[in-house]
Structure 1
C-alpha cells in the first residue's frame, strides 16, 4: 500500500478488522493477528504531507497518522537510504553537489534546518535555486519550466515531467490561465449542470429558492471541477476522480487533450502506469463532501482541471524533471515544502519564486512546517 502516511489510520484499521473476519472465522485463537495473518507492506515517507483533514489542528493530523495506530506497534520498519530521483540522473561530476542537496532536503523534511524546526519555522532557500529577476517574475518562472512551449504543443513527453507547484488553488488558476492564453487554438468552454440533491427537497424548513443555479455555479470546492472549464487542444489536464483504475485513470493522472467534442473529451495519458494510451471520458455527476456547505448538491461536469500548474498536494508521488515552486503564500501544513522540493530529479531542474501579494520579491526566506511527533515512533 503506497503513500500510506497520506491515508487516515481508520482506513487501515477497518481493513485489519475486515481481513480478520474473512481469514480467522475458523481460527478464533489467532484473532489477535493483524490483517488475518497476511503480510501487508506499507510504503511512504513520513516527512511528506499527512492525511488531509478539513479544519484540523496539529494534534488531529498527528492522531490520524498510521504511526499513531495500534497497527504501528507490530510493524517492522525498513529504511530506504538512497534518493533514487536525484542519484539516478546525476553525472560523476555532480555527485558531491547532489549528495549535499539530497541531505539538505532530508534535513528540511525532518526539521533540522536552522536548529530545532518543530512546527512553523523560517528557513533560507539556497540562492542558486531562487528566481531573483525583478522584471516580469511570473513569466521568468514559466519560461524556466516550459521553454519553447509553442514548439512542443503536440509533444506529450514535453508535458510529462514538468509542473509549476503552489500551496493553494487560487495561484494555480492564475498560472494555468496565463499559459493557456499562449496556445493558438480556439478555446472551448464546458459549463456544468448544478442542482440540489433530492434529499434536500424533503426538508420542510429548507428554502431551495435561496440556492439558485447562479449560486451553485459560483461554488468552487476541493475535489470537484469548476462550473466553467476552458480548454484548448494540446493542453495538459488532470483527472479529479477515479474512473478506471485498471486503465490507470485515477485521481491525479495527467493527460493531454487531443479532441474536444461536445459531450466527450479524447485525451492522451502522460503519467502513471499507462503512458501513451488514448482514452475518452464523459461528464460525471459529482457531489462534494465539504462540510462547510450546509446542503448537498450535484454538479455534472468533466472530472478534470488544467494542470500546467498544480497544488503541492497533487504532486505527491510524482517525479519531475522541471519544477517551478511559486510561493505567493507560505506552505501551511506538515511536509508541504519537503514534497515540493523533493519532486525534482536534479537540482538544476528546480527554481523557487517567493513573492508577496503585491507581486514583489520579498527575500530568500520561507516558512517550513514540520510536526516532529510523527517521527517519535519511527
Structure 2
C-alpha cells in the first residue's frame, strides 16, 4: 500500500510538471477529454496534429492525470513504436484481440463476458488509441461492436452508444501513412480509413497546430529555418503547395535537400546524415537523432551495404534454411521450387537469405513482441556480439 501511495504521489508530481508545460491548445484538449471521462459523459474524439505538436506529450499527461487519482486508462497504439511511447501502452491488436485479416464482421476475440480484460474495460475511464489513421476502419468497428456487447450488460441503452458509452480518444495525422490495402487503388485506401467508417460521424475533431519541437533546444536562426521547413511540408501534405492543382503538381525542391553528387549519391547521403559515423558509432543519442528513409527495399539494401562496408570489423554471414512444405495432394507441386529459388526471394516482411552482420552495425527488429524490454517492430539496435550460429 505504501508503494502504491508513493507511485501515485510520483504520478501526481509528474502530472503537475506536464500541465505547466502544456500549450493552450493542448490544455483545451486535455480539459475536454478529462471532463467527458471523469463525468462519464461518453464521447469519441480525434486529436488531429502533425508530428511535433505534442500528441504523445498529451497522452502521457492524460495517463498521469487519471492514474494519479486511482482511475484506469487503457492506452494502445496501432504500431509497436507508438505503443511503447505511452506509459503502459500496448498494441491495439494485442490488447483487444483484433484479428490480422479483419473484415466488417470481425469482433475482438479477447473481449468476452466475465473475462479479466472485459472487467478492465468496464472500469476504465478512458481509452487512447494513438496513430489511428494507419489502421483499417474495420478494426475500430470491431472494438465498437465488442464494447457495445459487454457494456449493454450494465445498461441496455449502452448498446446504442458508440463504443458502448466509453470515452475513446484517437490520435494521428491523415497526412501520413494511411491503411495498407494490398494492390488497392486510391479509392480503396480512402474507403479503408477511419474517416470512412460510420464511427467518424461521432468523432469530435480536436486540432493541435503549434509545433512544440520548435520551442526548445534551438537557436532563433535554427528555429526559423525549421519553422519554414515544417510549413512547407504541411503545404505538401494539405495539397496546396505549388498552387491550385488537380491532384498532380510539379514542386521545386530546395537546393539543400538535393544530392548533388550523382556519381555516388549513397555516400553523400550517408555522409550528410551520419557525419563522423565511426567515431559516434556507440553513441545512442547520436543514432537516435538520425535515420535514412528509403522508398524501396533495393535502396535500403544499397544503403545498408555501404554503411556496413565502413565498419572495419570482421563480418559474419548467417544463412536462412528454406524449403517448400510438401502438400497432401500427392501431386508433387512442392518440388517445382528449388532451394536456390527460395533463397533468392526478397520481399517485405521477410529477412534476406543472407544476413551480413558486424559488431557495431545498426540493425532494426522486424518481428518482436517483448515490449516490456522496449523491443517491438522497428526498434533499432546495435550489434555487440556475434555467435557462431546467430
Q: TM-score scaled to structure 1, two decimals?
A: 0.65
SS of residue in 1 equivalent to 2:291 = strand
Residue aligning to 1:48: 176
Quick check: 2:318–2:389 contact (8 Å CA) kept in 1? Answer: no
The partner residue of 2:308 within 174, 180, 192 is: 180
Give the drift of 1:169: 0.8
CA separation in 2, counterparts of 1:135 and 1:182? 18
Matches of 2:185 and 2:342, distance apart in 1: 29
Match in the other structure for 1:212: 338
The answer as to whether partners of 1:243 and 1:250 remain within 8 angstroms in 2 is yes
State the partner residue of 2:378. 252
Q: Which residue of structure 2 lines up, in the alignment, with residue 141 of structure 1?
A: 269
> How far did 1:261 drift?
1.7
CA distance in 1, matches of 2:140, 2:347: 27
Tell me by how many angstroms 1:116 deviates.
3.0
Higher helix share: 2
Aligned-residue Cα RMSD (Å) equals: 1.9
The equivalent residue for 2:283 is 155
Query: Which of structures 1 and 2 has the larger relative contact order (alpha carbons within 8 angstroms, sep 6+)?
Result: 1
CA contact (8 A) 1:4 1:43 kept: yes
- Change in CA separation of 1:262 and 1:15 when aligned onto 2, cut-off 3 Å: farther
Q: Which residue is 2:189 aligned to? A: 61
Q: In the aligned structure 2, how far is the partner of 1:91 from the partner of 1:56?
A: 45
Distance apart, 1:59 and its partner CA:
0.2
Distance 2:316 2:293 in 1: 25
Aligned-residue offset at 1:206: 5.5
Q: Distance in 1 between matches of 2:361 and 2:355?
A: 12
Instruction: State which of 228, 235, 241 in structure 1 corresponds to 2:361.
Output: 235
Change (3 A) 1:206 1:72: farther
Quickly say closer, same or farther: Cα 1:252–1:117, change in 2 above 3 A: farther
> What is the alpha-carbon distance in structure 2 between the residues aligned to residue 163 and residue 96 of structure 1?
22
Residues 1:74 and 2:202 are matched in the alignment:
yes
8 A Cα contact 1:4 1:66, kept in partner: yes
Long gaps (5+) in structure 1: 265-378
CA distance in 2, matches of 1:113, 1:24: 48
Kindly indicate whether the alpha-carbon contact (under 8 Å) linking 2:175 and 2:237 is maintained by their aligned counterparts in 1.
yes
91, 109, 124: which one pairs with 2:252? Answer: 124
Q: For the structure 1 residues 147 and 234, does the alpha-carbon distance in structure 2 shift closer, same or farther, using more than 3 Å as the test?
A: same
Question: Which one has a larger percent strand, Structure 1 or Structure 2?
Answer: 1
**Unmatched segments (≥5 aa) in structure 2:** 1-128
Aligned partners of 1:90 and 1:98 also within 8 Å:
no
Question: Kindly tell me: are residues 28 and 263 of structure 1, through their superposed partners in 2, closer, same or farther at Cα, counting changes over 3 Å?
Answer: farther
**Paired residue for 1:108, among 236, 245, 255?**
236
The residue number in structure 1 matching 2:112 is none
Q: 1:25 aligns with which of 138, 153, 159?
A: 153
Deviations 1:14-53 (A, max 9, x none): 1111122222234333202122221111110001111111
CA–CA separation in structure 2 for the residues paired with 1:167 and 1:73: 34
CA deviation map 1:94-121 (0-9, x unaligned): 4443332221111111110112345343
Q: 11-20 vs 117-126, which deviates more?
A: 117-126
Larger Cα-atom Rg = 2
**Greater CA drift, 127-136 or 78-87:** 127-136
CA distance in 2, matches of 1:63, 1:116: 25
